[in-house]
Amino acid sequence: MIEPRSGAPGTIDREIPSSLNQLYQEVILDHYRKPRNKGHLDEATHAITMNNPLCGDVIELMLRVEGGSIVEARFLGRGCSISLASASMLTGRVRGKSLDQALELSGKFTHLLHGDEALLSDDELGDLRTLAGVSKFPVRIKCALLAWNCLEELGDGTDEDRGSA
């Protein structure tokens, strides 16, 4: 059950568009307050840091890729609730996928944030769909896509790892 929010810090509330569905706001805040997979990944095979100067968000995405599959994903960073919640969701979603599959998911998520409402019924996106409302706020789109831009940068340079498995 999701409890009604009361007395949440105003600084967090201001970052999330108030027109977002309340349940969606709760999911985003939950990832922000209790980020999944946040921390350094010692045995990363891939790592990149990117920032979103418009908002001041910084995300470092670390992956361990074995045999073309992402076996571990973690992130570090600071920034607004949207950017950190999105990074938290990303790390949970890409583990176990091949890089190609992760990039395909990234493509879908990017389209969703650019307003492709047909993707709202795409189960593969799962809780990522809670960020769809951000599509109406262009400045926030960059926040939501920051971690995914990291993923795409990492994926671009790893053709040799993609494979036949």
Contact positions vs Zn ion (CB under 5 A): 55, 57, 79-80, 83, 143
Residue whose CB is less far from Zn ion, 78 or 163: 78
Q: Shortest approach of Zn ion to residue 81 CB, angstroms?
A: 8
What one-character-per-residue DSSP string does the chain give?
A: --PPP-S--HHHHTTS-TTS-HHHHHHHHHHHHS-TTBS--TT-SEEEEEEETTTTEEEEEEEEEETTEEEEEEEEEE--HHHHHHHHHHHHHHTTSBHHHHHHHHHHHHHHHTT-GGGGG-GGGGGGGGGGGGGG-HHHHHHHHHHHHHHHHHHHT-GGG----
Residue whose CB is less far from Zn ion, 48 or 55: 55
Q: Shortest approach of Zn ion to residue 127 CB, angstroms?
A: 19
Q: Shortest approach of Zn ion to residue 139 CB, angstroms?
A: 8
Residue whose CB is less far from Zn ion, 60 or 72: 60
